Amino acid sequence: MAGLRGPDSSEDEHRLDERAVFPETVDVNIRQLDPIPAPRAFLRELPLTEEMSDLVLRSRQEIRALLHGRDDRLLVIVGPCSIHDPKAAREYAERLAAVNRELNDRLVIVMRTYFEKPRTTIGWKGLINDPDLDGRFNIRKGMWLARKVLTDVLSLGLPTAIEWLDPITPQYLCDLICWGAIGARNTESQVHRELASGLSMPIGFKNSTDGSIKAAADSCYTSAFEHHFLSINLDGRVISAETKGNPDCHLVLRGSSHRPNTDPESVAAALEALKASKASGPSEHGLVIDAAHGNCGKDENREAEVVEEIAARIADGEQGILGVMMESFLKGGHQKPAPLDQLVYGQSITDACVPWERTERLLHTLADAVATRRSAR
């Protein structure tokens, strides 16, 4: 122990100053280190207005109330599988905002604004990672564009949703986010459970890619407790973070590679798994169903049918369904990633999406289902 030196050791300062030469064991597989401005620089350049801040805080509270059984509206998280074109995202948001104004007495509509895409193997990893879709990976530009899209969406009066993937990203974007997800590939990750425990918005944990509910249920339980871990602050300094725990974590059913889990029996089994996990808060009231991914085989027509089936069950009074997720864009289907000028405008470059016209009808169907459920009470 006598050989250990504290962080303020003068010997460390001499050994590790800017002139220090590190051994060949450091950065062996790193080609380049490109400095990115600290989060505060981006927050200053694209700040929240007072109106946007009020919307974020109010939307988080409305989502919390719904998840905890104090609001009988249905949470609907809808939008592109991923954002690749800010102009098309803005047009989609304008259309969705108009529907939101019409249906907000029955639905809490939140727009999917996903900028990071987890990949099973390799592929385009989202707007932040490669904003020009050309393999140049201009992350500085991508982060700026992500904030620009979010401020555009909020300026239209729409709440925002995101999947948290990189543990550093939240410091750059979390002031603009109303609801967040931890994806199926990360739901068992200690890093993401710790991250969720300190995030300022409700977080949905998706079931694992193999269909297992237990990992996500355990995440809902674990993330409600305080954690300590390495992170960065708004000035980009490495810090030791101490969280209070997030009481608003909940389960999202997204199916698996071998079967969907939207049916009543799967929902009932998931609710029992939540009870067994001792997760509290939203888990005592229900869960969210993602109609995309493994629940539709990535087929946008089947996805729309799944939403219609869920709406019918809600209208019939089925308990435990707090919300629905749907991947939707201006045009249906999807296309392969390519530079923007080579793409079909308003069509997904990741998973296939439900086209806007059918999305609008589905939102009205869900709203009607909530109204029917209310009238039966």
Residue 74: both structure tokens together: 């249905």
Residue 226 domain flag: yes
What gap in Å lies between CA 259 and CA 250, rounded to an integer?
21
Could you tell me the residue range of the domain that residue 153 belongs to?
34-375
Residue 335: C-alpha distances to residues 84, 133, 347, 357 (Å): 12, 13, 7, 19
What gap in Å lies between CA 377 and CA 373, rounded to an integer?
7
Residue 4 domain flag: no
Residue 1 domain flag: no
pLDDT band at 3 (very low <50, low <70, confident <90, very high): very low
| Domain count across the chain | 1
Model confidence at 4: pLDDT above 60: no
Query: Whose CA is closest to 74, among 102, 113, 109, 112?
Result: 109
pLDDT of residue 1: 39
pLDDT in tens, 66-101: 999 999 999 999 999 999 999 999 999 999 999 999
Residue 116 domain flag: yes
Residue 206 domain flag: yes
Residue 28 domain flag: no
Residue 253 domain flag: yes
What gap in Å lies between CA 267 and CA 214, rounded to an integer?
13
Are 323 and 288 a contacting pair, CB within 8 Å? yes
pTM over 0.85, yes/no = yes
- Reduced to 3 states (helix: H, G, I; strand: E, B; else coil), residue 288 is strand
Model confidence at 367: pLDDT above 80: yes
CATH code of residue 348: 3.20.20.70
How much is the average pLDDT of 190-197?
98
